[in-house]
């Protein structure tokens, strides 16, 4: 019978050494974790600042409800006006 302090009964399982892990990482192909960037023409990078009275802003917030105010206003401009539609130049520019 082995003595109380005998370690010969312990089975040591092989573990990955730091060098093996490093080699495995170098061999695997890197995975791209990001998506492709938008084309420059489709990026919404330009900003416009608008000022409203307190009552005007409260009215807009009530109509927007849970939608962010800027998103609501942009949707109004895009869908309920012809501001973003391509049309012939009539010469009415100021």
- Classify residue 94: in a domain, yes or no: no
- Residue 63 in contact with residue 72, Cβ under 8 Å? yes
- Classify residue 63: in a domain, yes or no: yes
Give pLDDT tens digits for 17-34: 777 777 776 666 666 778
Domain count across the chain: 1
Alpha carbon separation from 70 to 34, 65, 73, 75, 76 (Å, rounded)? 27, 12, 5, 9, 10
- Classify residue 67: in a domain, yes or no: yes
Domain that holds residue 81: 49-85
- Classify residue 57: in a domain, yes or no: yes
Its pTM surpasses 0.85: no
Stronger pLDDT, 28 or 43, i.e. the higher one? 43
- Classify residue 61: in a domain, yes or no: yes
- Classify residue 74: in a domain, yes or no: yes
- Classify residue 65: in a domain, yes or no: yes
- Classify residue 31: in a domain, yes or no: no
């Amino acid at each position: 019978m082995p003595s109380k302090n005998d370690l010969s009964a312990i089975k040591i399982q092989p573990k990955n050494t730091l060098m093996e892990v490093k080699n495995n990482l170098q061999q695997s192909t890197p995975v791209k974790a990001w998506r492709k960037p938008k084309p420059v023409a489709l990026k919404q990078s330009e900003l416009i600042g608008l000022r409203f009275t307190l009552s005007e802003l409260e009215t807009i917030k009530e109509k927007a409800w849970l939608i962010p105010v800027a998103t609501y206003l942009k949707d109004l401009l895009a869908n309920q006006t012809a501001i973003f539609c391509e049309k012939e130049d009539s010469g009415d520019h100021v």
